[in-house]
């Protein structure tokens, strides 16, 4: 039994962490919910019991075994050292420690062995990196990938609870004939598509989200595999979608690829050509598995080594809260 703390408990991912702990029957002896001073005093429910949210301070981690952080990089950098000093293992959902050479970056279905290398902090990867690797790692194991080109279609949930509310409000405004007013995003999100709102590297032309996908996938796979992402924000509520092009080492055997995906934990084959039924954000929302389909050989390639596929995964679950709890399960 473990004393678990959730930092950022009132946020979209924090709330999902509570639900995932309950759903997976995690051995929790005590649950401490931590958030900003503004949220302190709110009541949340865990296993039918009311839990009062406490203000996050450096003294919040006494007796905590595992601290699940989802409050942004600034808060993680400030408070994770205090948690580690108090004896807790931190599983951090922010970007604060992901590329730190001394911090494991873990997707439990892919590199669980890296967990044992931790020095108090384990990083949870970027949501798009997790969803991408869950879809392609079963293929990589049977036919090593030489190159990845990926376009992402990222939902409002990736920017948090306020962004989800902004999408709802703007959709209502547009349907009522009112002009949508952006607050969380730079541009209107309702009925719109735009380049991901992460900061742009002016020299390379890649934004911060795209660079995260490149760097984090390489770290998780322990490989310098070439990756070229294009990350786009779309007006879906939750669950990210990704269009993926792979260059493989050997000629692609689609039956073997489908079998590999079908037999891999955490992914589900959704590849019904006859009924044009493939992964969709609506069907991926609320699901633990990443849905994978549209698997086909690149019709423009003569080598037979290039394939395309489409995948969807719930950003708040496998892209964030679920992956963090799965890491905690490996610790317990």
Query: What positions carry a catalytic annotation?
Result: 127, 240
Which structure tokens are listed for 194? 């735009």
134: closest CA among 244, 297, 5?
244
Q: Where are the beta strands (DSSP E) in the chain?
A: 2-7, 28-35, 43-46, 49-52, 54-55, 66-69, 89-92, 121-123, 145-154, 193-195, 227-234, 240-248, 267-269, 290-297, 306-313
The order of strands in the sheet holding 240-248 is 193-195, 227-234, 145-154, 240-248, 306-313, 290-297, 267-269
**3-class secondary structure, 229:** strand
Residue 288 is encoded by which pair of tokens? 């633990």
Pairing mode of beta strands 290-297, 267-269: parallel
For residues 18 and 25, the answer to whether their CB atoms sit within 8 Å is: no
For the chain, state the CA radius of gyration.
Answer: 20
Is the separation of the CB atoms in 187 and 165 below 8 Å?
no
**How far is it, in rounded angstroms, from Cα 29 to Cα 280?**
37
């Amino acid at each position: 039994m473990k004393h678990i703390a959730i930092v950022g408990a009132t946020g979209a991912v924090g709330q999902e962490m509570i639900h995932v702990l309950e759903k997976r029957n995690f051995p929790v002896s005590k649950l401490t919910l931590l958030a900003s001073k503004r949220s302190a005093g709110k009541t949340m429910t865990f296993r039918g019991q009311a839990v009062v949210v406490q203000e996050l301070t450096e003294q919040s981690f006494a007796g905590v075994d595992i601290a699940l952080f989802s409050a942004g990089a600034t808060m993680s950098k400030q408070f994770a050292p205090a948690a580690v000093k108090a004896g807790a293992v931190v599983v951090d959902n922010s970007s604060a420690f992901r590329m730190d050479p001394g911090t494991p970056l873990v997707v439990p279905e892919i590199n669980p062995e890296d967990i044992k290398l931790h020095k108090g902090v384990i990083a949870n990867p970027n949501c798009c990196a997790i969803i991408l690797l869950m879809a392609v790692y079963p293929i990589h194991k049977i036919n090593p990938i030489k190159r990845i080109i990926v376009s992402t279609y990222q939902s409002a949930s990736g920017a948090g609870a306020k962004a989800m509310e902004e999408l709802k409000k703007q959709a209502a405004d547009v349907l009522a004939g009112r002009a949508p007013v952006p607050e969380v995003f730079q541009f209107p999100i309702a009925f719109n598509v735009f380049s991901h709102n992460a900061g742009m590297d002016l020299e390379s032309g890649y934004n911060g989200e795209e660079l995260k996908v490149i760097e984090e996938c390489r770290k998780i796979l322990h490989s310098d595999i070439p990756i070229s992402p294009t990350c786009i924000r779309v007006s879906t509520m939750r669950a990210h979608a990704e269009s993926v092009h792979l260059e493989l080492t050997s000629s692609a055997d689609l039956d073997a690829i489908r079998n590999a995906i079908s037999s891999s934990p955490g992914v589900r084959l959704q590849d019904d050509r006859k009924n044009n039924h493939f992964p969709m954000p609506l069907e991926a929302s609320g699901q633990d598995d990443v849905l994978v389909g549209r698997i086909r050989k690149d019709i423009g390639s003569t080598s037979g080594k290039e394939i395309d596929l489409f995948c969807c995964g719930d950003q708040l679950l496998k892209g964030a809260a679920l992956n963090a709890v799965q890491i905690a399960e490996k610790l317990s």
